[in-house]
Every structure is written in C-alpha cells, then in structure tokens.
Amino acid sequence: MKNKPTLATLADDLAHGRTSARKLVDECIARIADPAGEGIRAFMHVDREAAIAAAEAMDHLRAAKAAPSPYAGIPVSIKDLFDIKGQVTRAGSRALEDSAPAEADATAVARLRRAGFVVIGRTNMTEFAYSGIGINPHYGTPKSAWQRSVGHVPGGSSSGAAVSIADGMAYGALGTDTGGSCRIPAAYNGIVGFKPTQRRVPLDGGVPLSFTLDSFGPLANSVGCCAVLDAVLADEPVRPLQPRSIKGMRLAVPTTVALDELEDEVARTFERALETLSHQGALIERIAVPEFLDVGVMNAKGGFAASESYAWHRYLLTSKGDVYDPRVSSRILRGESLSAADYIDLLNARRSLIARTTTRLAPYDALVMPTTAITPPRIADLADDKAFAKANLLSLRNCTLINMIDGCAISLPAHREGEAPVGLMLAASGGSDRRIFELAAGMEDVIRV
C-alpha cells in the first residue's frame, strides 16, 4: 500500500545499506513497547533477545553476501496458534498455559526462518481461533486501526496479526484462516490478507480448529508482500509478480448470499470499486450462485468447525472447561451432538459443493464480493451475546463461502482515506492462487482512487 513499507522496499533498503535488520527489529520492538499503542494487547509474547540476535546474524550474513534471501532480517509476527521451539503455544487460551514448550517450530514458522525472516513475537488471537470478531477476554482485545479512540474490533481470529502490521510492529504476519481469519482482520484494519488453497501449506505444528477447513496464510501491507510470504510458506520459488491488466478481467459478482444484509458503507464502497474496475475495462457479471445456499444448511448444526474442534477439545473441556471463554466453549460443544452419520453427510455435501461451484466459476477469472458484510463494530457494543452473534455471523459469512468450496481468496482495502475500512475480496476455486495474486496486484492501487 502507498506510504507503507513493503517487503520489496525493505529488501532494497537492506541490500543498499539504507537500513539494517537490527534497526528494523529495534524499531518494531519500540512500537510494540509504546504505552500509547496496542502492542501490549496485540502481542502475547515479544521475543526481544532472540529477535535481536537473529537480526544481527542476518546483518553479518548479508555483509558476507550469504543472506538466505533478499528478505533476511525483516521482522514478522507469528499467531499464537503456531508452535515456536521452546515456547508454550496457548492459542489465545488460559487452558493451555501449563502445556510443555514446543519441541520444534511449526513447519510454516520454520520456512519463514529458513528464508531469514526474524520472528519478533507471538500475536494475540480469538481463543482457539473460534470467531471472526477478535475479542479475547483473557489477554485483552487489540483495537482496530480505525478510529482507535472509539475502540472497534480488530477482526478475528488473527486479531493481533493484523494490528501488528497496521501499526508497523511487524512487516509480515503469519495467520490462519478457517472461515476468514486472515481476511476479516485484514479488512477491518485496512491491510491485505490472503487465504491460500489449503493443500499448499502444511498444517503441522498449528493448533487445529477444523482440519478440513484450516488454511495458513499471510497478512501484510501489499499484495506483493503476501505473494512473497505465501511462496515461502508453500515452499515455492519467490517469483516476480506480474500484475494483470484490469482491461479484460472477467469478474463475477455472486448475488446469492454474498450481498445480503450489507451495511450501507460496505455497499457504497463495494459498488464504487466495481464501477472503477468497469471503467478500467473489467468485464463484470452479476451471477446467481445457488450452491452458496447450501453452506448455511451445512453449517446449521455447527458444521466442520464444531465437529472437528470438539474431537480435539473434548478431554481438555472436561478438565479445564471452566477457564474457556463461554462464547468459545458453547460453539465447540455443539459438536458433541453431531453423529458420525452427520459428519459423513457433511463430507459428501462438501464434495458435491466443490464440484458444482468449480464448474460454475470456470468461465471467470475470479469472484468479487465484499470481504465482510459490515464494518468493524465497536467493542463496547458487543457485550450483549445476541449482538456478538449477529456481528460474528456477518463478519464470517462471505469468507466462509470460500473455505467451504476449498478455494483461495485475498482481501484488499477498498475504502478511501478517512472512511470506515471495507475489504474487497477476490476468490476462485482451489489451485488458482497465482491468478488471484496477479489480479489483485493489478487492481490494488486503483480501487481506492
């Protein structure tokens, strides 16, 4: 994004001696420690000494022309859901506080380290990643970058990840996305968040929410940043990203479900972005996607998240259920009533859903829709459980559609300076990740004009 450091600009500064890894780390640590900022709520743990040591090592390697990548020394944050060797993975919960420290890095963390990225610390999250709002009653809730004095939700579940980027406390963040947990907080903080095709990034070393739907992805300041981080996470070569020309883009706007109950600000910003794209030559078609109606039916009893999280949590709930956030435990416990037959029905229904949507979306380069149906609500307004449940549903709904069809998707900021944050989501069937990045790179600087 304009006026914000990107991995490309930082790599160039490092290569030409205009900055150093140590300086970048020191600056991020200072921002995290600023009592006027959100660092105390955005981070669960800051690995100060290890980050400084890693930064100095990368500076020495760069001086010896042996840096492992152009991005070596750039600070990144890690969601508290991931194992980091020697640290306890709490997943935003009190229930795991007395767990043994991890014996190894999660695969995704290890790949970031291998490229030379410096782990600055662990970021806050919704307990066990089970909501799209970002509220954490145990460790505090970091405020969205928008109207901070008012106090809006950061989006979840990768809440601290998004705030760490928005506030310059890291330049890349590792998050997870089961129903929008990279894209929602990106939308609510005016940054970019990417959900990869699930099979591309291993899930080893992460606390699961739903092993069927979980995806590990990046949040950052630009499409290019997310493309670099995604390639590293997927253990693929980092290739130059060629933005696609907007002229001739074939974009489909799903009129089924995705445009229901849009907040006025979201609807206005979304339509303005579509008009801009159309004027630039994009071919935009509004289409019915009746398959999206199936998603609500599939999730009516809790879906994959309830059944699979209950399987993982059932013994922990027995021994430590009293320290869970009730809004989280109640959702997990829905899985207790789902039978094996219900679960098999879900698997079969999803298999059919993926096949049918893949056929329907084949003529288009991407689906385009609002990332969320609402702008970030005020934290104070969600004390009531009914208000929380409605806001959570409207935050998650559009993103969940893409997880259910095994797709990939990116959220771009679509609002103008001073406006409420609104994300524009580009999505496609699984395996279309590179195309989504190229399309997004072609429009990210255009849709906010």
User: What integer pLDDT is reported at residue 333 of this predicted model?
Assistant: 98
* Alpha-carbon span 108 to 82, nearest angstrom: 8
Asked if 20 is an active-site residue, the reply is no
Q: Label residue 3 by pLDDT band (50, 70, 90).
A: confident
User: Which residues fall within 8 angstroms of residue 120, CB to CB, at 6 or more apart?
Assistant: 25, 28, 29, 32, 46, 47, 51, 75, 76, 77, 164, 169, 170
Which among 118, 121, 117 has a CA at the least distance from the CA of 228?
117
Asked if 79 is an active-site residue, the reply is yes
For the packed helices 223-233 and 433-443, what is the interaxial angle rounded to 10 degrees?
160
What six digits make up the tokens of 132?
């799209």
Q: Which of 20, 77, 157, 307 is labelled catalytic? A: 157
User: What integer pLDDT is reported at residue 199 of this predicted model?
Assistant: 98
Q: Which of 144, 164, 181, 210 is labelled catalytic? A: 181
Q: Label residue 136 by pLDDT band (50, 70, 90).
A: very high
Q: If you average pLDDT over residues 128-153, what whole number do you get?
A: 98
pLDDT digit string (tens) for 4-20?
Answer: 999 999 999 999 999 99
Question: Would the pLDDT of 1 be above 60?
Answer: no
Asked if 222 is an active-site residue, the reply is no
Q: Which of 20, 79, 131, 215 is labelled catalytic? A: 79
> How does the average pLDDT of the chain come out, rounded?
98
pTM of the model: 0.98
pLDDT digit string (tens) for 265-308?
Answer: 999 999 999 999 999 999 999 999 999 999 999 999 999 999 99
pLDDT digit string (tens) for 54-72?
Answer: 999 999 999 999 999 999 9
- How much of the chain, in percent, has pLDDT values that exceed 90? 99
Q: Label residue 240 by pLDDT band (50, 70, 90).
A: very high
Is 261:370 a contact under the CB 8 Å cutoff?
A: no
Q: Which domains does the chain have, with CATH numbers?
A: 7-233 (3.90.1300.10), 250-443 (3.90.1300.10)
Q: At 19, phi and psi to the nearest 5?
A: -150, 180
User: What integer pLDDT is reported at residue 434 of this predicted model?
Assistant: 98
User: What integer pLDDT is reported at residue 2 of this predicted model?
Assistant: 60
Q: At 144, phi and psi to the nearest 5?
A: -55, 155
Is 346:307 a contact under the CB 8 Å cutoff?
A: yes
Q: If you average pLDDT over residues 102-114, what whole number do you get?
A: 98
User: Which residues fall within 8 angstroms of residue 419, CB to CB, at 6 or more apart?
Assistant: 265, 269
pLDDT digit string (tens) for 167-206?
Answer: 999 999 999 999 999 999 999 999 999 999 999 999 999 9
What six digits make up the tokens of 427?
């999505």
